[in-house]
């Protein structure tokens, strides 16, 4: 059994045992399960170049969250022979990240961390806690710099810093000191694989899947699918090893989709495809307010964005790294501008159809807070374990013509209105005016001829 550059652990190709190299020799950590069929352009044993620097794919680990609604994910260890160093790469929500093991970091306690907590990591700067959770090793292969024992629950905190910086504090199971991995988001175009394949977001091994309930053909539209809700019968399923595993039915849609699933178009220079739809609502002072959100996939470099519609007013919603936000008590700052608190509500998922990068479910809720500056907004959505930010900018309905969208048109000043409804309202208004005129004429004539005993309102005048 040979250990690659900087490796402390090796997964046996034949028996699947994890063997760890210690100061006392080799130690068996236990056997890992067979690898899940999670597609990726990285293959252990292959290589490529990163900004002209040669690398080899040395190992892979697969994790899933403990007691959290998410699918397994995987991380790859790359070795750089010329530099004598290693790096971990992974993708999430259409974005790619690289991290490096960092020493000399003073760790807080895991129990003290909450989403949004600000950390000062010495010379490594200021970071924001994005997620706090627990994970479990599912499987692994190749040579690795370190690895937890199989099926042992370990704690972690994901961090976000300014300008796309990303990191993870790995607290393990408490039996060994925690380890810090810091790095940043990167452009996948900077990597060239030996295979010639582009480093894009992993795509499923099948182009289309069949609904396990109704047999409907469901094309996979985006790069990462964790949950899919059938557009024909409403069955919700998880994609597992290229097939859909049914979880149960969801209520039929009552909303009318203004952008069809599978519709493609170019919005502000970005080619996008609509892959999912969510209807959400909140209650304020016993009043229910509803809005609709369309999930769009923009490829490996862009990832996912959203289009949100409420009362014919549209917004483009793009993700913001938590580390790029400076949070105050009642305001947030982003790119040198301050956004004032506007409102906080509990947003609930009411309807859903299509494919999504998380295990969306009807009834799930988040605390949604809105900050405003002119027509632009910053949205913060938080749960007990995670916080995410988004930038919301207004979209003129005419910008959605490329999607074949059946949306409201706009008046000259940009105020949205529905042309069909407006035409119907105009026709009805003219009819009402004619009817009222006829009634007034008859009643006015009746008053002057002595019949009827008075006006329509029972007084001596037609005005209130």
DSSP string, 351-416: EEEEEESS---TT-EEEEEEEEETTEEEEEEE-SSBEEEEEEEEE-GGGGGGGT----EE-TTS-E
Confidence grade of residue 158 (pLDDT, cut at 50, 70, 90): very high
From the centroid of its chain, how far is CA 295? 8
Q: Are 360 and 277 in contact (CB under 8 A)?
A: no
pLDDT, one tens digit per residue, over 363-394 is 999 999 999 999 999 999 999 999 999 999 99
Confidence grade of residue 22 (pLDDT, cut at 50, 70, 90): low
Which of 290-304, 334-348, 399-413, 450-464 is predicted least confidently?
A: 450-464
Which residue shows structure tokens 């006006």? 455
pLDDT for residue 71: 67
Give me the count of residues in the chain: 464
Please say if the pLDDT value at position 414 is more than 70. Answer: no
Across the chain, mean pLDDT equals: 81
Q: Where are the domains of the chain?
A: 9-193, 208-417, 422-464
């Amino acid at each position: 059994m040979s250990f690659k550059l900087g490796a402390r652990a090796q997964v046996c190709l034949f028996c699947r045992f994890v063997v760890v190299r210690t100061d006392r020799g080799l130690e068996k950590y236990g056997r890992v399960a067979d690898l899940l069929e999670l597609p990726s352009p990285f293959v252990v044993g292959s290589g490529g170049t990163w900004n002209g620097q040669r690398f080899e794919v040395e190992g892979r680990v697969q994790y899933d969250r403990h007691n959290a609604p998410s699918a397994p994910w995987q991380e790859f260890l790359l070795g750089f022979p010329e530099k004598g160093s290693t790096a971990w790469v992974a993708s999430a929500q259409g974005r790619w990240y690289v991290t490096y093991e960092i020493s000399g970091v003073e760790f807080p306690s895991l129990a003290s961390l909450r989403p949004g907590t600000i950390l000062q990591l010495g010379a490594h700067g200021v970071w924001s806690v994005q997620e706090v959770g627990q994970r479990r090793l599912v499987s692994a292969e190749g040579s690795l710099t370190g690895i937890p024992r199989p099926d042992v629950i370990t704690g972690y905190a994901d961090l976000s810093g300014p300008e796309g910086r990303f990191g993870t504090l790995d607290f393990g199971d408490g039996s060994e000191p925690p380890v810090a991995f810091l790095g940043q988001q990167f452009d996948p175009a900077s990597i060239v694989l030996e295979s010639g394949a582009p480093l894009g977001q992993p795509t499923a091994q099948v182009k289309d899947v069949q609904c396990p309930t109704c047999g409907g053909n469901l094309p996979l539209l985006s790069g990462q699918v964790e949950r899919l809700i059938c557009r024909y019968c409403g069955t919700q399923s998880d994609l597992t090893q290229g097939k859909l595993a049914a979880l149960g039915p969801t209520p039929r849609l009552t909303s009318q989709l203004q952008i069809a699933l599978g519709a493609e178009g170019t919005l502000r220079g970005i080619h996008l495809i609509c892959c999912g739809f969510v209807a959400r609502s909140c209650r304020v002072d016993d009043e229910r307010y509803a809005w609709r959100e369309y999930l769009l996939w923009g490829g490996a470099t862009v990832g996912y964005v959203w289009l949100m519609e409420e009362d014919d007013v549209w917004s483009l919603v793009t993700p913001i790294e938590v580390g790029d936000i400076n949070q105050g008590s009642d305001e947030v700052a982003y790119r040198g501008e301050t956004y004032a608190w506007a409102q906080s509500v509990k947003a609930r998922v009411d309807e859903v159809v299509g494919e999504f990068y998380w295990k969306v479910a009807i009834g799930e809720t988040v605390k949604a807070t809105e900050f405003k500056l002119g027509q632009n907004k910053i949205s913060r959505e938080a749960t007990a374990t995670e916080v995410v930010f988004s930038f919301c900018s207004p979209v003129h309905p005419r910008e959605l013509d490329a999607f074949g969208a059946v949306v409201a048109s706009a008046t000259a000043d940009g105020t949205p209105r529905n042309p069909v409804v407006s035409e119907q309202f105009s026709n009805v208004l003219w009819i009402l005016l004619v009817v009222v005129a006829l009634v007034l004429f008859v009643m006015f004539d009746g008053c002057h001829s002595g019949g009827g005993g008075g006006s329509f309102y029972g007084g001596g005048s037609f005005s209130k």
